[in-house]
A and B are shown apart, each in its own frame.
Chain A
Amino acid sequence: MGGDERMELAIKNVSAGYGRIQVLWDVSLEVKQGKLTALVGPNGAGKSTLLKVITGFLKPYSGSIELDGINLTYLKPHMIKKLGISMVPEGRRLFPNLTVKENLTMGAYFLKEKHVINEQMEFIFSIFPVLKERLNQTAKSLSGGEAQMLAIARALISYPKILIIDEPSLGLSPKMVSLIFEKLMELKNRGTTLLIVDQYVDKVLSIADWAYVMENGKIVMSGEGLELLKTDMLKKFYLGIG
């Protein structure tokens, strides 16, 4: 450790796919502690597949996933969560018939001590005060933005080492997208380690410390978020300008 940046998550040479259809080709990626890392790329680039591999829902053909030197590659999803990787999945995947409070309770399921859970609840409400007002409403009654906040809160409440967010802006109005990105900035400033996958390339790159660009199942570019934003290739492919 020493004065070096501590590495949190390391994905090493991962190849993966569904049966014979290979999707990821020798993907390597790092997420550093306290940093916001972005993963961008067009639809079908393999971003979601990579997240499935990280969270244990898909086992890779080869390569490894390590968190602080612990090999997660062959662990089940619930063990990976317990070791500190929380994910906000695409489409949020809230429990629609459970209340906001019950959704949060599920997020904090493996926290055993009551005072820790209460502290984490207060921490969540300090970031997302609206959830406190909605505590006894069912998740399905929330608006899109509120639901996204609940999904982030549910993943954040277990005090993860890394928070992965898949498409935080999907299906939200531009105003809500701005609000969600403000919240993500706030989390970053509080020291949360983040890995964000998004289609809003310009928005996510402008707040990312480091970013990876994925295409056809391979990492084709990486660099500081703002630097990447300036490159011609990215402008051409994803922003439709230049």
Chain B
Amino acid sequence: MDLLIDFAISLARNVVLGIMMGSVYALAAMGLALLFGVANLINFAHGEYVMLAMYMAYFFSVTLVIDPVVSSIINIPLFFLIGLVTYFLFFKRVINAPPLSQIAVTVGVVVLLRNIALVIWQAEPKAPPFTIFSASYEMGPITIPLDKLFATIISITSLILLYLFLERSKFGTAMRAAADDVDAVSMMGIDTGRLFLLTLGISMMLVGLSGSLIMMYQAVTPTSGLLFGLLSWAIVALAGLGSIRGIYLAAVIFGLADALASGMWDPRGREIILYGLFILILWLKPRGLWGRR
């Protein structure tokens, strides 16, 4: 009987943790989905930018003695700028190119960023040494760390703001229109180069924020990009393109799988479960659960 209660408590704890982790993963996946949906750009380096954002969150929290959550205030505009620079350096030339050229260029960016991280921060995992939200909230037998709860609230709020931007603003409507038909968008007198540039900027803002928030959960190494890149692709594959709610739900499914695999089975089993799930989705539902195309 006690065993059963322990199991139930552990399960509930990991479910809560999974939902909170999924909410943060949703930000990274949304960045990828926007770029892929609007600009048709296959960014294999997406995870590497998340890794870079995690390092920057670490860097700011150590040098400025701030919480990694607070580092997002710097990371968001910083990554918007990194997005603009990335566009001119790497992506501008391949945005209308066939997928193979895009893969070649973005894989090149993967290697570049990973090695820059290796040179600057070495291979040992880095984690922010402290948080201002050391307290936690007790909900019966389940403990909810306040920093993670805060990260969840920020994630959901950001996604709602993004939704309102895409639905209500003229520029957001143009981004959705581009997801339908890019050439028709330029026929409307809209400079698609500028549209792609700003889409990459917004995508990177989400990456910057997600990097700060993921630091609440785990340390960063130069190879973290592999996990978060594949995780983002897996979430987008499960959700399909075209719906923020779909991305959020898919991210929560992966968050749950992640938390349950690490917490109830074996932390080393985490990646087996996540990638196994990814392959299963591609096999069963290649268009995603809520995709419109």
Contacts and interface: CB of A to CB of B under 8 A. Distances in A.
Interface stretch (A61-69, A98-106, A120-128, A230-238): A98-106
B218 interface: no
A77 B186 contact: yes
A20 interface: no
Contact of A105 (B173, B180, B181, B187): B173
B185 interface: yes
A201 interface: no
A158 B187 CA distance: 11
A98 B188 contact: no
Q: Which of A77, A82, A96, A110 has the most C-beta atoms of chain B within 10 angstroms of its own C-beta? A: A77
Nearest to B173: A102
A91 B237 CA distance: 29
B189 interface: yes
Contacts of A105: 170, 173
A109 B187 contact: no
Contact of B180 (A76, A95, A154): A95
A154 B190 CA distance: 14
Contacts of B184: 89, 93-95
Contacts of A96: 180
A53 to B, nearest CB: 14
Interface string A21-35: 000000000000000
A47 interface: no
Contacts of B188: 78, 81, 106-107, 109-110, 154, 158
B274 to A, nearest CB: 30
Contacts of B180: 95-98
- Interface of B, helix, strand, loop or mixed by DSSP: helix
A87 interface: yes
Nearest to B242: A97
B223 interface: no
B192 interface: yes
Q: Which of A82, A86, A106, A107 has the most C-beta atoms of chain B within 10 angstroms of its own C-beta? A: A106
B183 A93 contact: yes
Interface in B164-209: 170, 173-174, 176-177, 179-181, 183-192
Interface string A43-71: 00000000000010100000000000000
B225 to A, nearest CB: 32
Nearest to A77: B186
Nearest to B193: A76
B292 interface: yes
Nearest to B189: A81
A180 to B, nearest CB: 19
Nearest to A56: B186
Contacts of A110: 188-190
B190 A109 contact: yes
A96 B292 CA distance: 10
Contacts of B190: 78, 106, 109-110
Nearest to B180: A95
A26 to B, nearest CB: 27
A76 B192 CA distance: 10
A106 B174 contact: yes
Interface in A135-190: 154-155, 158
B186 A102 contact: no
Contacts of B189: 78-79, 81-82, 109-110, 158
B96 to A, nearest CB: 12
Nearest to A96: B180
B181 A95 contact: yes
Contacts of B186: 76-78, 81
Contact of B176 (A79, A81, A97): A97
Interface of A: 55, 57, 76-79, 81-82, 86-87, 89, 93-98, 102, 105-107, 109-110, 154-155, 158
Given A97-B176, A110-B189, 9 more contacts: A81-B187, A95-B184, A96-B180, A97-B292, A98-B180, A106-B173, A106-B185, A109-B188, A109-B189
Nearest 7 CB-CB pairings of A with B: A81-B189, A93-B184, A95-B180, A77-B186, A95-B177, A110-B189, A82-B189
